[in-house]
Chains A and B, each alone.
Chain A
Amino acid sequence: MLRFILTRVSLIIPTFIGITLLTFFLIRLVPGDPIETMAGERGIDPARHELLRKEYGFDRPILVQYGIYIARVLQGDLSKSVITQAPVLDEFLALFPATIELAVCAILFALVIGLPAGILAAVRRNSIFDHGVMGISLAGYSMPIFWWGLILILLFSVQFDLTPVSGRIDVLYYIEPVTGFLLIDSLFFSEDEGAFRSALAHLILPTIVLGTVPLAVIARMTRSAMLEVLGEDYIRTAKAKGLSRFRIIALHALRNALIPVVTVIGLQVGVLFTGAILTETIFSWPGVGKWLIEAIFRRDYPVLQGGVLLLGIVVMTVNLLVDLAYGLINPRIRHTR
C-alpha cells in the first residue's frame, strides 16, 4: 500500500508541470501582443503599455518567463485581475465554495440515483426496468447540457413556477459567509427560516443539470460491474452458504462491483468541473465556472490563467484522493508492498 501511495503521489509532479505549461502558454498563444489584447477596445497609452510589459515580464526570454511564473505560482501569487485589480487567488477562493457546493450536490444526486438504479438493473437483468434504465441513461449521457438546462428552466421555472431561474438564493436574504456553503450557512448561521429553503430551491435545477451525465455514467458502470460480479464463483459460494439475497447483492457483490465504479466516479470529477462552467453560466450561479466564462468575455487573461491552473490542481487532487480510496477498498492493492 505504501508503494502504491508513493507512486500515485509522485505522479502529481509531472501532472502539475503539465498544467502550469498549459496555463503558461495559454496567454502567450493569443496572436498579437498580449497586453494590447487584454486592453482590447479599452485601448492603452504607450507608457502604461511599457510598464505592464515589464510587470508581466514579456520582455524576458521565454524560459526565464516560465521560471518566474513557476516561482510565483509556488508562492501562491497568481497575479491580479485586470478588471478588478483583486488577486486572482482571492477571487477564486471567494467563489469556489459555490462551485463545490454545486458539484458535491450533483455527484451525490448522481450516486444516490445511479448506484441503486445500476444495481437493480443488473439484478433484474433484461427486465423492463433494466431496459428503461439503460435507455434513459444513454439519453442522459448524450444530452447537451445547455439544451437540457434550458428545457428544465422552461418546464419547472417558466411553466410551473416551481423553481427559481438563477442565482444561489433569493435576494431577500443576505447570508454572511461562514463556511461559504450556502446550505450550511443558511441552515446553521442564519435566523431567517426561509433562507435555507430558498438556497435549496435554487440548487435543485443546477444539481440535476450538472448531475445528469455522471448519473448516466455511474448507472451504466454499476450495472456492468454488478453483472460481471454476479457471475463470479464467490457469489455461488455465498448462495451455497444460505445467505439472503439482499446480503449477497448488497454486501458480497456490491463490495466488489464498487471497485471499478469508484474509478469511474474519480474520472467524473474532471467532467463535473467542465460541466460546472456551462451549468453556472445557464443558472447565473456565482461560482468559478461563471467567473471563468466572464473572464473570457472581459479578456481578463490573468484570471483565466490562474483560474484554469487552480481548477486543474483541484481536479488533480480529487483524482489522487479517489485513487487512494480505490486502494483502500481493494484488498489486493492494500496488502501489496
Chain B
Amino acid sequence: MALVEIENLSVEFPTQGGIMRAVDGVSLRLEEGEVLGVVGESGSGKSVTMLALMGLIPFPGRVRADKLSFNGRDLLTISDKDRRKLTGKDVAMIFQEPTTSLNPSFTVGFQLTETLRLHEGMDRKAAERRAVELLGQVGIPSPESRLSAYPHQLSGGMNQRVMIAMAIACNPKLLIADEPTTALDVTIQAQILDLLMTLQKERRMGLVMITHNMGVVADTAKRVMVMYAGQIMEERSADDLFASPQHPYTAALLAALPERSEGGRLATIPGVVPGLYDRPKGCLFSPRCAYATEHSRHVRPDLRPWAGGHIRCHYPLGDPNRNAEIQHDHPVGTEAAS
C-alpha cells in the first residue's frame, strides 16, 4: 500500500473573471519513506496540490479527485474530526515564510507543546520536556531558554527550525516542505536542507520537497515531478530526469540552472505561465515551447508512461521518431521550424 495515492486531482477557485483551475488532473503515488521533489515555476500549482492533500484549500476552492488517500484512509470521505487527527500528526507541513508562519502572540514553547498535547495527550510538563528535546534535534542552541522566546526574537533560520520541530513533533509519516528555504540566506538554506534530509533518513518519513529550484531537487529527491500550469509535465527518477530530460519544459528548466547554462549567462524561458484567460486549447506549454506544432497547439497531450516514468508531451525528447513527427505535424516553434 502506498503512503499517498492521488488520482486525477483537480482544484478550482471561482474568481470574478471565471473559474481558475489551479490544479488539473494530477495523479501521484508516494511510497513510505520516499523523497519526492516537486518543481515548477511560480503559479504552477505545487502548493495547491499539497494543500489539497492536507485538506487546507481555503474557501471557496473546490477539490475533486477520483482518489485521494493517505496511509490507506480515504480523504475524500473522511470526517472533519478524523481529518484533524491526521493533520499535524501523521502528515505535517512546513511553509516558505517561517517568521509569518508562526503566531507572533505566542511563545515558541506554547506553539510547540500545543501539538504534543493535542495529538499525544501529553501534560504540560511532559510536552515541555519533549519540546526541549525536539528543539535540540533541529539544532537550536540552548533549547530550554528558547521555549519562552517569541518568533520575532528569533532569526528566520531559527524560526524555520522551530517550524520543523513542530512538524516532526508527532513523528509524521509524511512531511511536506513547501519551499522551506526560499526566504532564507544562502548559507542557512544549505543547513536547513541538510537538517531535513538527516531527519528524513533517521525517521524514514516520506518527504515532499516543493521548490522552484532544480538545484535543491538534485540534492535531495529520488523522484521528481515537474509541474506546469496545474499539470504534471514529467515525472521520473531524479537520476534519469537530470541525465536525459524527456519534456521540453524540463529541459528548459534544467538549462536555466546557472551551472548548466553556457557562457555563465542564466538562461530563462521566455514567456509566462498561462493564467485564467490565456489558457491554451492544446498543450499548455505550446505558447512557450520551441518544438510546438499545429497539432500540439490544438490537441492536449495526455500524461503517459515513458522512459521509466510519465510524461505529458506529443514529442518526448528521447523519441527517435521525434523529428519526423514534428515535421509531419507542421512545426511552429523556433527550434523545430529551423
Contact = CB atoms under 8 A, between A and B. Distances in A.
A331 interface: yes
Contacts of A243: 84, 88, 114, 118
Nearest to B92: A240
Interface size class of B (residues with CB under 8 A): 20 to 34
Interface string A255-280: 11001000000000000000000000
A241 to B, nearest CB: 4
Given A332-B152, A335-B153, A242 B100 contact: no
B114 A241 contact: yes
Contacts of B101: 233-234, 236-237
B103 A252 contact: yes
Nearest to B153: A335
Nearest to A231: B58
Contacts of B152: 331-332, 335
Interface string B205-217: 0000000000000
Contacts, number: 70
A244 interface: yes
A95 interface: no
Contacts of A242: 83-89, 115, 118-119
A237 B87 contact: no
Contacts of B153: 335
B62 to A, nearest CB: 17
Interface residues of A, number: 21
Given A332-B150, A332-B152, A241 B166 contact: yes
B56 interface: yes
Given A243-B114, A243-B118, A331-B152, A232 B100 contact: yes
Given A332-B150, A332-B152, A244 B84 contact: yes
Interface string B98-120: 00111111100000001100110
B158 interface: no
Contacts of B54: 240
A233 B83 CA distance: 20
A238 interface: yes
A265 B299 CA distance: 61
Shortest beta-carbon contacts, A-B, top 3: A242-B88, A241-B88, A242-B87
Interface of B: 54, 56, 83-89, 92-93, 95, 97, 100-106, 114-115, 118-119, 150, 152-153, 163, 166
